[in-house]
A = this chain, B = another copy of it.
Amino acid sequence: MRRVAVLGAGHTKFMFDSPQTEIEMLAEASMDAIRESNLKSKDIQAIFCGNVLGDFSEGQGMVQSYLADDIGCFNVPASKFEGACASATMAIRDAFMWVASGFYDIVLAGGTEKATAMGTSLATRTFAMFGDSRYEYPAGFTFPGVFGMLAHLYSDQYKVPLKKLKEQMALVSVQSHYYGKDNPNAQFRKEITVEQVLKGFMVTSPLQLLDCCPFSDGAAAIVLASEDIAKKLVAKPVYIAGVGQASAGKISSQYKYLPRIRSREISVKQAYDMAGLGPRDIDVCELHDCFSIAGIIAAEGLGFAEFGKGGELWEKGETKIGGKIPINISGGLKSKGHPIGATGASQVYEIAHQLRGELKDQGRQVEGAKVGLVDTLGGDGTIINLILKVD
């Protein structure tokens, strides 16, 4: 197994109601990634792509194949992955293996989604099919329902009074908007206050509007290559040092562990072990804050805080630049936006730029960051983690 590097990365603006198709958005991000890698389309040997709702939002499957043709990667193998919100991270982890194994030298991986076309209410109902649609969805388990329940379980189990937990949760969203305002690709670029979060309308108790990330349209893509090629092409290759993935069953089948997401602990251990690193080595992290409570739960599962203490990280400012573990300096899913099948690629894009030290101009550079962690959650607890580092 040889080392694999992220070369260039591309990212559309995340937004409501994009005028582009999913294929057009991914083509834009892909061409930017290819150009930034000092490559041409013909150099790409294979494509790995995440997309989830395309069949519903545009009536278009097989986006990977049309993308290949549209960006001039004629007849290259192109595979599409569906792992709900973690689809692009799944694609990238898989692409990593094809390069690490020596089968391919240069590949493209990314994801694209138009999640706003059907409106938030219908999208929420449609997207619930990526939970258990047979027994749990009819019982109320849309994703807001799942994470609302987890917040109550969290409060109960860790003896964090709901009022206090809600203030901690609000701080997660407030911080995301604080950094997202400076991210030109972010969907929401304005600050919000704790008071605004706590006065928002109730979506699913105890989650209020600003505890919830939006649906978004957008795409992101990266080029992966072997170490020797990377060193020839770019000044500062970002290596994928560790990968992890774990599935979960129905949310009800996880009852022994909830609100801990056991699959995250399994997945991130794989990534840490492979990289020979631990939570203390992570300089910057993009994690899956689809809901504010999800951000707190993720921070604990990744090893940044004891269980029940995750919210304190935000309270103490440890998740900001200069803190112990800067989290979601991109704005996270909450402020940057959440185009489902693209989110994992967007997280990798962000971490790659942090590790290359290219975010000074945007005022959100984690100085000296050398190791970054990506955390994506799909459906009822499929987790995929990637550890990126620069030498």
Report A's interface with B, CB cutoff 8 A.
Answer: 1, 21, 47, 52, 55-56, 58-62, 64-66, 68-70, 74-84, 90, 94, 97-98, 100-103, 129-134, 137, 245-250, 253, 262-263, 266-267, 378-382
Could you list 14 further interchain pairs (A-B, Cβ under 8 angstroms) beyond the known A68-B247, A75-B246?
Answer: A59-B129, A60-B129, A60-B133, A61-B379, A62-B82, A62-B83, A65-B381, A69-B248, A75-B247, A80-B81, A81-B81, A101-B101, A101-B102, A101-B103
**Chain B proximity of A270: nearest CB distance (Å):** 8
**Chain B proximity of A149: nearest CB distance (Å):** 18
B75 touches A263 (CB 8 A): yes
Which residues of B have CB within 8 Å of A253? 69
Which residues of B have CB within 8 Å of A21? 134
Complex alpha-carbon distance, A137 and B263, angstroms: 41
A1 touches B103 (CB 8 A): yes
Complex alpha-carbon distance, A63 and B131, angstroms: 9
> When A and B form their complex, which 9 residue pairs have the shortest distance between CB atoms, in order from nearest?
A69-B249, A101-B101, A77-B245, A78-B247, A65-B247, A61-B130, A62-B379, A75-B246, A68-B247
Number of copies: 2
Complex alpha-carbon distance, A379 and B68, angstroms: 14
Q: Which residue of B lies closest to A82 (CB)?
A: B80
Given the contacts A80-B82, A90-B79, A378 and B247 also touching, CB distance less than 8 Å: no
29 residue pairs of the A-B complex, CB under 8 angstroms, read A1-B101, A1-B103, A59-B129, A60-B129, A60-B132, A60-B133, A61-B82, A61-B130, A62-B378, A62-B382, A65-B83, A65-B247, A65-B248, A65-B249, A65-B381, A66-B249, A68-B247, A69-B248, A69-B250, A75-B247, A77-B245, A77-B267, A78-B247, A79-B83, A79-B90, A81-B81, A97-B101, A101-B101, A101-B103
**Chain B proximity of A142: nearest CB distance (Å):** 13
Given the contacts A75-B262, A80-B83, A101-B1, A60 and B134 also touching, CB distance less than 8 Å: yes
**Chain B proximity of A26: nearest CB distance (Å):** 14
Which residues of B have CB within 8 Å of A245? 77, 79
Q: Which residue of B lies closest to A384 (CB)?
A: B77
Which residues of B have CB within 8 Å of A69? 247-250, 253
Which residues of B have CB within 8 Å of A267? 77
Which residues of B have CB within 8 Å of A103? 1, 97, 100-101
Which residues of B have CB within 8 Å of A262? 75
**Chain B proximity of A139: nearest CB distance (Å):** 15
Q: Which residue of B lies closest to A21 (CB)?
A: B134
Which residues of B have CB within 8 Å of A130? 61-62
B1 touches A65 (CB 8 A): no
Complex alpha-carbon distance, A378 and B61, angstroms: 11
Which residues of B have CB within 8 Å of A68? 247, 249
Complex alpha-carbon distance, A294 and B64, angstroms: 23
B248 touches A75 (CB 8 A): yes
Given the contacts A69-B250, A94-B94, A61 and B129 also touching, CB distance less than 8 Å: yes
**Chain B proximity of A146: nearest CB distance (Å):** 13
Q: Which residue of B lies closest to A90 (CB)?
A: B79
Complex alpha-carbon distance, A58 and B128, angstroms: 12
Contacting residue for A382 out of B52, B56, B65, CB 8 A: B65
Contacting residue for A61 out of B1, B84, B98, B102, CB 8 A: B84
Q: Specify which of A68, A77, A132 lies most central, judged by the most chain B CB atoms within 10 Å of its CB.
A: A77
Complex alpha-carbon distance, A132 and B129, angstroms: 25
B101 touches A55 (CB 8 A): no
**Chain B proximity of A108: nearest CB distance (Å):** 12
